Amino acid sequence: MPLSENATPTTPPDDAAAASAPARSWRVPVVVETPQHSGLTSPLDYLAPTALPPGTLVRVPLGRRTVLGVVWDTPAAGPDALPDVQLKPVAEVLDGLPPLPAEWRQLVGFAAGYYQRALGEMALMVLPPELRQLDATQWGRREKRLHKAVARHDDSVATAERPPLTPQQADALDALAEPGSPKPFLLWGSTGSGKTEVYLRQAERALEAGQQVLMMVPEINLTPQLEARVAARFADRRIVSLHSGLTPAQRLRNWLMAHYGHADLVLGTRLAVFTPLPRLGLIVVDEEHDPSYKQQDGARYSARDLAVYRGHLHKVPVILGSATPSLESWFNALPLAEGGTGRYRRLAMPARVGDGNMPTVRVLDLSRAPKPARGDSAPPLARELLSAITERVERGEQSLVLLNRRGYAPVLQCGDCGWKSGCPHCSAWRVFHKVDRTLRCHHCGFTERVPRACPDCGNQDIAPVGRGTERLEEQLAEALPGARLGRIDADVTKHKGALEAQLASVHAGEVDVLVGTQMVAKGHDFRRITLVAAVNPDAALFASDFRAAERQFALLLQAAGRAGRDAGVAGHSEMWVQTWHPMHPLYQALRCYDYADFARQQLKEREMAGLPPYASLAMLRAEGRTQEAAQAFLLEAARLVQDHAGEAVRLYPPVPTPVQRVANVERAQMMIESPQRLALQRFLAAAQSVWLAQAQQHRRSGLIRWAVDVDPLAI
């Protein structure tokens, strides 16, 4: 759609219905948040007493409500536009707030088009929730408080000293400083190689040039550690964070600091990619491979991919950092001669700071471990591994035991009749949490007390099956008497400040053995850990999801990187992997930390199978009161748009999702594939209007909602 920076001046006709309108009005296009699949995908026209520049925030009437809207770019009104006499006037303008810049509007417009969402939904979704509720009077009070906060800033605080650079870090920074059109940089550095220092040095360059910096992390639990390091380095600069852990007032204040240009550095999670920054000079995406950068509901955008697009819009460098890059990013960083696209420039940092070695990987074959006696449960760790952890405890070193499953046990079972603790609202098991004696569904949240006896047969001997972090901690306490144990997972860190307290105890040496999920496997700088053990990593080896092996390799290598980060103990640090499949190629690649070879094998398999990055995928998802209703919509959707597909787009038969019922809603999905990204986008754009009309008819037969997921992470 062509962009226009000018509103259209109009003169309302001399009509009684327009008597209250000003003598001279301007027709302005405004995007507002409309109901999903309402068909209102374009800006709506309103009348304003003055010409309003695009990006201005206004409050406008929509039905019986007055809502926040953004004045948008659009060509002059077409022949089908409503006459001015039928247009409603703008209710209020948020005066004093700078218009959202053109690059921000282009980013939002691109995201809405690419991810097949309404423009108004995308534009309003990325604004702070509290801003959407303010009228002009309330906004005026907030603006005064903001300016007072800016005036109180103290820029005389001393900053932390910079550590010396390694040769690899210096080479990477030299490459980042080279003139020319900036390509995205893939900073491929092993865990502990000092990628964060490269981020900080490059940020320093941007700040000295009077620019702003956007640094992104995948999860909120990684924010405090990086924020503390950034604050120490740039104590004389204004630094703000943007993530879901902030109160609405804090989030609005920090967003405004960035938008006004008062904040020099913005640190945030995925939604921070939409933060308006008038002086943007650098974008950093740490742990770029992490799936948390992909929104999993509503507008399912990828913040990593949008960061790359935003760097292109602003013509600023983008650094994607990871020890285990996503295969899509790795493919884009491969030169054309090696079968890649050459769109990114790869900067390699294979050595750790201080020349410390990565932990020695020991793959433990469980098939050769002694079998437990009849009637005894299998121990959580093999005898050799327990001995190795005991040695660490006696030397005053720390160990990390990784089990990516929280709770006490994934299911309770009756040995007499076979009853299991299924969720009545989902096609999933309820997890047993021993600490509060509850059965909890991790999909819909349904929670009940553990029954005294089997609900089906009355047997009182119902037992846990399987193992979660809660049970693993209990078993290790029995196997390692005298050892100080700690646990970090979503259950023990749900209260404010709990995660920081747990991490502080680990850093202070108050924990000998730390049990945790993937929360502790990435981004944390544990200096005393010398042993990492993966308890049950085999489940992902044979999963139906084609990305399962990639994610598991990344998780294990990131977990291994928590050990031996202090060069003084790196020589005897180890990574133990308990497995029934010791010869699996994933573990063989992990032994020598050969990510390049692992990526080469995975890319070869994906090319043969026609999977990303050699093809583009979208998933049409449907939810209904019955599975038949959901699949009927998908079958009809495929039939109606078959002519649009042609030979370049393939539609697969609909199937239930892996967890097909959640909160009494049945879910199904249909995969759409094309070897050409542009062909897939054209098809989806043409199909949207067809599916919208079809959905209205299917609602009578049980369809609840439907959505398109472009570039899905799981199939």
Annotated binding site for Zn(2+): 414, 417, 423, 426, 441, 444, 454, 457
- The type of residue at 500 is E
**Residue recorded with tokens 């994934």:** 410
In three-state form (DSSP H/G/I as H, E/B as E, the rest C), the secondary structure along 264-288 is CEEEECHHHHHCCCCCEEEEEEECC
d(C-alpha 677, C-alpha 612), whole Å: 10
Instruction: Count the neighbouring beta carbons within 10 Å of the beta carbon of residue 163.
Output: 11
Per-residue tokens: 157: 């605080």
Chain centroid to CA 655: 26
Beta strands in 323-375 (DSSP E): 345-349, 360-365
How many angstroms separate the CA atoms of 405 and 534, rounded? Answer: 12
Helix (H) or strand (E) holding 681: helix 677-698
Chain-centroid distance of CA 657 in Å reads: 21
Which pair of structure tokens corresponds to residue 223?
Answer: 């924010």
Which residues are bridge partners to 242 per DSSP?
A: 268
Distance, CA of 539 to CA of 536 (rounded, Å): 7
Tell me how far apart the alpha carbons of residues 390 and 77 are, in angstroms, rounded to a whole number. 76
Burial of 202 (0-12, 13-18, 19+ CB in 10 A): buried
Type of residue found at 85: V
Gap between the Cα atoms of 178 and 222, Å rounded: 30
CB count within 10 Å of CB 639 equals 11
Kind of pairing, strands 398-402 and 513-516?
Answer: parallel
| 442 φ/ψ angles, rounded to the nearest 5 degrees | -85, 0
Residue 479 is encoded by which pair of tokens?
A: 């196997």
Q: Cα torsion for 563, 566, 570, 574, to the nearest 10°?
A: -10
Instruction: Mark the binding-site residues, compressed into ranges.
Output: 414, 417, 423, 426, 441, 444, 454, 457
Instruction: Give residue for tokens 């007032």.
Output: 249
Query: Which residues touch 194 (CB under 8 Å, ≥6 apart)?
Result: 166, 168, 169, 349, 352, 353
**Rounded-to-integer distance, Cα 301 and Cα 299, Å:** 6
Angstrom CA distances, 37 to 25, 120, 347, 661, 708, stand at: 31, 12, 43, 23, 11
Question: Going by DSSP bridges, is the β-strand pair 462-465/345-349 parallel, antiparallel, or unpaired?
Answer: unpaired
Residue type, 138: Q
For 32, 33, 358, 360, 705, the CA distances from 62, given in Å and listed in that order, are 8, 9, 59, 63, 23
- Beta-carbon contacts of 598 under 8 Å, excluding residues fewer than 6 positions away, are 553, 585, 586, 589, 590
CB 572 within 8 A of CB 536: no
Residue 644: its H or E element: helix 642-645
Helices (H) and strands (E) in the chain, counts: 19, 29
Residues 6+ away with beta carbon under 8 Å from 199: 215, 284, 286, 319, 321
Cis peptide before 276 (omega within 30 of 0): no
Question: Within a 10 A sphere around the Cβ of 660, how many other Cβ atoms?
Answer: 17
